[in-house]
């Protein structure tokens, strides 16, 4: 990547121009989307007007975000930016050395070609004149001498041509490398084509520390977690990691890194509330559309979706990171400096937490005849967690992934830790108690099920058994059930929960029975 150059020019002719120096990026503040980049410089200013030129900055930077800090003893007259056009890029002085080397290489190759052509002509001359005058008038010894001379010269000539070919091949290889480097530099100039100029007035000659700050939206970070359960009587271990990516066009080398939970690009203007107009639309057949609506079972636990091997990601651990909180966001300040090349990403450990969790089993045998271990974490917002993907581990085994939704509004977090094979769950329809009956214009369908749970474990368990009854979506459909001592939650959604404590080596059963009444000429979606 092209090195950033900072040049100090004195606008008055009586002052000398300072030499160019390289000033690397020192601090990066990464938002959820975008990054604020800071470069520091220590400069010797003369009294009077000074023109400061920052060259070779990323073309992805936001010109509106440009700031210069450290101006307490200076007056900022103006600040401007310019993007190099293609002609300016091709004429950039940094390319001259390469272009001159390429021209010198081509000239050397042309010299070799000219020399080789001379040797080839000489060889043809020897071949065509080796039998001048025939063999008459020459003694045998003279013929031998001529033949030996031609043979010797031919060998010398061929050897010289071979050396020239080798030299030209070497030059061609060097030319390809030079041309490749030239294209790389031109591409870097196209990517880093911003020049910033600041006009400053210094009341006296002084040494100052200045910072150039600008924003680039080609970077960001997300949170992800490893949650590990070792035992049901111990807190869960949660590793909070940050996945950082950057495509800014500039390498971040040994920089101080700060990860902010806000968005650099967030709109600071409150939105406008417009009138909500109510108007009629084309009438629809509500009876038919509602009758066709199928009931759904919603599983509120964050059930793992796959049982794949966990992807191993290498990450660097910053063990003394700190958290800074302000009115609008939080920042994780990494204790150790970080290097991330443009086009790359890195995972950093932010912190390790131990969090008290409560455990229970949940089962929805209508969907899956299995018992899932659920970890419940209350007041999880106290830990200042960000939304992100969670990799779940139970006793060292990877059980799947979940997602932490920081905007859920719930004070508890439920995470599924996989199935437990020592708990057997069954759901059977009781045919003798199920059936259809007719009374006048009404039809009544009776449904009855028995749900069984067998705890094979050596200790008692708490288990929430979940089922449902259908929810009527039409005024002529009635759903009634035998309430008994059932503990019902969210009846509007039709969900029914039994909270059970099941002793070791014990089976418990529950019965679900309900009736659906509706006009006998109506066809339901079941």
Whole-number pLDDT of residue 492: 60
Whole-number pLDDT of residue 376: 87
Identify which has the larger pLDDT, 126 or 140: 126
Residue 313 pLDDT level (bands cut at 50, 70, 90): very low
Q: Are 12 and 47 in contact (CB under 8 A)?
A: no
Long-range Cβ contact pairs of 379-387 (< 8 A, separation 24 or more): 379/411, 379/412, 380/355, 380/411, 380/412, 380/413, 381/411, 383/238, 383/353, 383/355, 384/323, 384/325, 384/330, 385/223, 385/225, 385/240, 386/223, 386/240, 386/261, 387/223
CA 200 to chain centre: 40
What's the predicted TM-score (pTM) here?
Answer: 0.64
440-493, pLDDT tens digit by residue?
A: 889 999 999 999 999 999 999 999 999 988 888 888 888 888 765 544 433 567
Domain boundaries, the chain: 5-93+190-213, 96-180, 424-519
246-258 burial: b if 16+ Cβ within 10 Å, else e:
bbbbbbbeebbbb
Whole-number pLDDT of residue 216: 92
Residue 430 pLDDT level (bands cut at 50, 70, 90): very high
Identify which has the larger pLDDT, 347 or 321: 347
- Write out the E strands in 230-367: 236-246, 252-260, 316-317, 322-325, 330-333, 338-340, 344-355, 358-364
Whole-number pLDDT of residue 9: 40
Identify which has the larger pLDDT, 326 or 523: 523
* Residue 309 pLDDT > 90: no
322-354, pLDDT tens digit by residue?
A: 777 665 678 899 999 999 999 899 999 999 999
Dihedral-angle region of residue 494 (phi above 0 means left; psi in -120 to 50 means alpha; beta otherwise): left
111-131, pLDDT tens digit by residue?
A: 988 888 887 887 777 767 655
Distance CA 138, CA 294 (A): 116
Q: Are 354 and 324 in contact (CB under 8 A)?
A: no
Whole-number pLDDT of residue 480: 83
Greatest Cα pair distance in the chain: 142
Distance CA 137, CA 132 (A): 11
Write out the two tokens for 118: 């001379």
Whole-number pLDDT of residue 264: 77
* Residue 214 pLDDT > 90: yes
Whole-number pLDDT of residue 259: 94
The one-character DSSP state at 215 is: E
Which numeric CATH code is attached to 424-519? 2.60.40
Distance CA 226, CA 347 (A): 13
Q: Quick count: other Cβ atoms within 10 Å of Cβ 229?
A: 23
């Amino acid at each position: 990547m092209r090195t950033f150059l900072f040049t100090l020019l004195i606008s008055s002719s009586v002052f000398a121009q300072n030499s160019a120096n390289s000033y690397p990026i020192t601090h990066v503040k990464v938002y959820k989307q975008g990054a604020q980049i800071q470069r520091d410089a220590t400069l010797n200013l003369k009294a009077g007007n000074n023109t400061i030129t920052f060259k070779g900055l990323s073309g992805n930077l936001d010109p509106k975000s440009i700031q210069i800090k450290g101006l307490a003893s200076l007056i900022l007259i103006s600040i401007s930016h310019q993007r190099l056009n293609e002609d300016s890029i091709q004429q950039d002085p940094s390319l001259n050395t390469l272009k001159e080397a390429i021209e010198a290489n081509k000239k050397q190759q042309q010299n070799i070609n000219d020399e080789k052509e001379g040797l080839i002509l000489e060889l043809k001359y020897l071949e065509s004149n080796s039998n001048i005058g025939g063999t008459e008038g020459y003694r045998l010894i003279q013929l031998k001498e001529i033949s030996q001379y031609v043979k010797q010269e031919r060998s010398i000539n061929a050897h010289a041509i071979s050396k020239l070919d080798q030299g030209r091949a070497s030059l061609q290889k060097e030319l390809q490398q030079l041309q490749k480097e030239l294209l790389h530099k031109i591409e870097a100039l196209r990517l880093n084509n911003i020049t910033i100029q600041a006009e400053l007035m210094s009341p006296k000659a002084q040494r100052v520390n200045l910072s150039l700050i600008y924003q680039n939206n080609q970077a960001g970070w997300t949170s992800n977690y490893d949650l590990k359960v070792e035992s049901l009587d111990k807190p869960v271990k949660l590793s909070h990691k940050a996945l950082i990516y950057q495509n800014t066009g500039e390498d971040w080398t040994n920089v101080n890194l700060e990860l902010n939970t806000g968005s650099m690009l967030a709109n600071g203007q409150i939105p406008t509330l417009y009138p909500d107009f109510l108007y009629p639309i084309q009438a629809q057949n509500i009876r038919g559309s509602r009758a066709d609506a199928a009931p759904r079972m919603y599983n509120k636990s964050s059930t793992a979706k796959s049982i794949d091997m966990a992807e191993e990601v290498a990450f660097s651990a910053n063990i003394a990171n700190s958290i800074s909180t302000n009115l609008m966001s939080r920042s994780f300040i990494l204790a150790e400096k970080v290097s991330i090349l443009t086009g790359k990403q890195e995972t950093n450990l932010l912190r390790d937490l131990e969090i008290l969790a409560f455990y229970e089993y949940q089962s929805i045998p209508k969907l899956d005849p299995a018992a899932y271990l659920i970890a419940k974490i209350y007041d999880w917002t106290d830990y200042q967690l960000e939304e992100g993907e969670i990799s779940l581990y139970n006793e060292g085994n990877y059980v799947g992934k979940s997602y932490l939704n920081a905007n859920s509004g719930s004070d508890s977090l439920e995470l599924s830790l996989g199935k437990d094979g020592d708990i057997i769950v069954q759901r059977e329809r009781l045919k003798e108690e199920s059936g259809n009956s007719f009374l006048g214009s009404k039809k009544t369908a009776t449904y009855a099920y028995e749900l069984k749970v067998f705890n094979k474990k050596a200790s008692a368990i708490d288990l929430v058994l979940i089922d449902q009854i259908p929810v009527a979506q039409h005024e002529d459909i009635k759903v009634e059930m035998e309430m008994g001592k059932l503990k019902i939650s969210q009846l509007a959604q039709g969900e029914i929960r039994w909270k059970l404590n099941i002793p070791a080596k014990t089976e418990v059963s529950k019965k679900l029975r309900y009736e659906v009444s509706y006009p006998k000429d109506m066809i339901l979606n079941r």
